Structure 1
Amino acid sequence: MYINFLIDRFDKNKKDCAVIWNDKEYTYDWLIQCIQHFKSQLQKYKELEKSVVSLEADYSPYSIAMLLSLLDRGCIVVPTHDSLVKAIKEEYNDIAEVEHFVKIKGDNFEIKHKKIKSVKNKLLLQLKNQHHPGLVLFSSGTTGRSKAIVHDFTLLLNKFSERRNPKRIIPFMLFDHIGGINTLFQVLSSTGCLVIIQERSPLEVGKTIEKYKVQALPVTPTFINLFLINETYRKYDLSSLETISYGSEVMPESTLKAINEIFPNVKIFQTYGLSEVGVLSSKSKHAASLWVKVWGEGVKTRIVDGVLQIKSHSSMLGYINAPSPFTEDGWLITGDMVEQDGEYIRILGRKSEIINVGGEKVFPAEVESVLRLISGVEEVVVSATTNAITGQMVKAAVRLNTNESLGEFRIRMRNFCRDKLPAYKIPQKVVLTSKELHTNRFKKNRKLI
Structure 2
Amino acid sequence: MSEFDIDRIARFEDAEAVVFHGRSWTYRQLVGLVADWQQYLDGHGVRPGDVVTLEGAYSPQICAGLLALIDRGAVVVPLTPLPAAKRAEFLEVAEVEVVVTADGTGARTLERTGRTAGHELYGRLRAAGSPGLVLFSSGTTGRSKASVLDFRKVLARYAPGGTPRRILSFLSLDHIGGINTLLHTLVQGGTVVTVAERTPEAVFAAVQEYGVQILPTTPTFLNMVLFSDVLERYDCSALQLVTYGTEPMPISTLTRLAGLLPAVRFKQTYGLSELGILPTKSRGDDTLWVKLGAAAGFEYKIIDSVLWIRSEMAMLGYLNAEAPFDEDGFFNTQDVVETDGEWMRILGRRSEIINVGGEKVYPSEVESTVLEVPGIAEATVSGHPSPVTGMVVKATVLLAPDQDADARTVQRLIREHCRRKLEAYKVPALVEVSGARQHSDRFKKIRSAA
In the alignment, what sits opposite 2:124? 126
Q: Secondary structure at the match of 1:46?
A: coil
Displacement of 1:4:
4.5
Displacement of 1:434:
1.0
d(CA) in 2 for partners of 1:70 and 1:2? 11
Q: Counterpart of 1:362 in structure 2: which amino acid? A: V
Q: 2:174 aligns with which of 162, 176, 187?
A: 176
d(CA) in 1 for partners of 2:215 and 2:3? 26
Show CA shifts across 1:248-292 (max 9, x none). 100011011011101111111111111111111100011111111
In the alignment, what sits opposite 1:393? 392
Q: 1:89 aligns with which of 87, 90, 106?
A: 87
d(CA) in 2 for partners of 1:199 and 1:395? 32
The answer to whether residue 71 in structure 2 is matched with residue 76 in structure 1 is no
Q: Counterpart of 1:380 in structure 2: which amino acid? A: A
d(CA) in 2 for partners of 1:282 and 1:355? 28
Displacement of 1:57:
1.3
Q: 2:186 aligns with which of 185, 188, 196?
A: 188
Within 5 Å, which residues of 2 pair with 1:137-152?
Answer: 137-152=135-150
In the alignment, what sits opposite 2:445? 444
In the alignment, is the contact (CA less than 8 A) between 1:54 and 1:79 conserved in 2?
yes
In the alignment, what sits opposite 2:259? 261
d(CA) in 1 for partners of 2:168 and 2:3? 23
In the alignment, what sits opposite 2:300? 301
d(CA) in 1 for partners of 2:165 and 2:328? 39
Displacement of 1:115:
1.1
Displacement of 1:344:
1.2
In the alignment, is the contact (CA less than 8 A) between 2:3 and 2:131 conserved in 1?
no
d(CA) in 1 for partners of 2:431 and 2:299? 41
Q: Secondary structure at the match of 2:237?
A: coil
Q: Secondary structure at the match of 2:420?
A: coil
Give the alignment's Cα RMSD to 1 decimal.
Answer: 1.1
User: So what's the TM-score if we normalise by structure 1?
Assistant: 0.97
d(CA) in 2 for partners of 1:122 and 1:95? 13
In the alignment, what sits opposite 1:416? 417
Show CA shifts across 1:60-119 (max 9, x none). 11100001111111110111102x101001001100100000000321211010112x32
Displacement of 1:324:
1.4
In the alignment, what sits opposite 2:314? 315
Show CA shifts across 1:120-154 (max 9, x none). 21111111222210000001112222111110000
d(CA) in 1 for partners of 2:151 and 2:246? 21
In the alignment, is the contact (CA less than 8 A) between 1:167 and 1:187 conserved in 2?
yes
d(CA) in 2 for partners of 1:364 and 1:328? 31
Displacement of 1:47:
4.3
Show CA shifts across 1:158-178 (max 9, x none). 000242211011010122111
Q: Secondary structure at the match of 2:383?
A: strand
In the alignment, is the contact (CA less than 8 A) between 1:51 and 1:128 conserved in 2?
no
The answer to whether residue 209 in structure 2 is matched with residue 208 in structure 1 is no
Show CA shifts across 1:7-33 (max 9, x none). 223222101000010111100000111
Displacement of 1:403:
2.3
Displacement of 1:411:
1.6
Q: Counterpart of 1:16 in structure 2: which amino acid? A: A
Q: Secondary structure at the match of 2:177?
A: helix
In the alignment, is the contact (CA less than 8 A) between 2:216 and 2:244 conserved in 1?
yes
d(CA) in 2 for partners of 1:421 and 1:143? 27
d(CA) in 2 for partners of 1:2 and 1:178? 22
Displacement of 1:2:
3.5
In the alignment, what sits opposite 2:29? 30
d(CA) in 2 for partners of 1:384 and 1:222? 20
In the alignment, what sits opposite 1:355? 354
d(CA) in 2 for partners of 1:268 and 1:347? 16
Q: Secondary structure at the match of 1:392?
A: strand
Q: Counterpart of 1:310 in structure 2: which amino acid? A: I
In the alignment, is the contact (CA less than 8 A) between 2:49 and 2:122 conserved in 1?
no
In the alignment, is the contact (CA less than 8 A) between 2:4 and 2:67 conserved in 1?
no
The answer to whether residue 430 in structure 2 is matched with residue 433 in structure 1 is no
Q: 2:284 aligns with which of 266, 283, 286?
A: 286
In the alignment, what sits opposite 2:405? 404
d(CA) in 2 for partners of 1:145 and 1:91? 10
d(CA) in 2 for partners of 1:4 and 1:227? 36
Q: 1:199 aligns with which of 171, 192, 197?
A: 197
d(CA) in 1 for partners of 2:396 and 2:41? 49
d(CA) in 2 for partners of 1:63 and 1:81? 10
Q: Secondary structure at the match of 1:175?
A: coil
In the alignment, is the contact (CA less than 8 A) between 1:57 and 1:175 conserved in 2?
no
Displacement of 1:3:
4.2
Displacement of 1:375:
0.8
In the alignment, is the contact (CA less than 8 A) between 1:2 and 1:154 conserved in 2?
no
Point out the more displaced range, 276-285 or 105-114. Answer: 105-114
In the alignment, is the contact (CA less than 8 A) between 2:48 and 2:131 conserved in 1?
no
Structure 1 unaligned blocks of 5 or more: none
In the alignment, is the contact (CA less than 8 A) between 2:3 and 2:73 conserved in 1?
no
Displacement of 1:406:
2.4
In the alignment, what sits opposite 2:51? 52
Show CA shifts across 1:345-397 (max 9, x none). 10000111111111111110000000000011011111111111111111111
In the alignment, is the contact (CA less than 8 A) between 1:3 and 1:68 conserved in 2?
no
In the alignment, is the contact (CA less than 8 A) between 1:9 and 1:191 conserved in 2?
no
Q: Counterpart of 1:113 in structure 2: which amino acid? A: R
d(CA) in 1 for partners of 2:131 and 2:44? 17
Q: Secondary structure at the match of 1:43?
A: helix
Q: Secondary structure at the match of 1:98?
A: coil
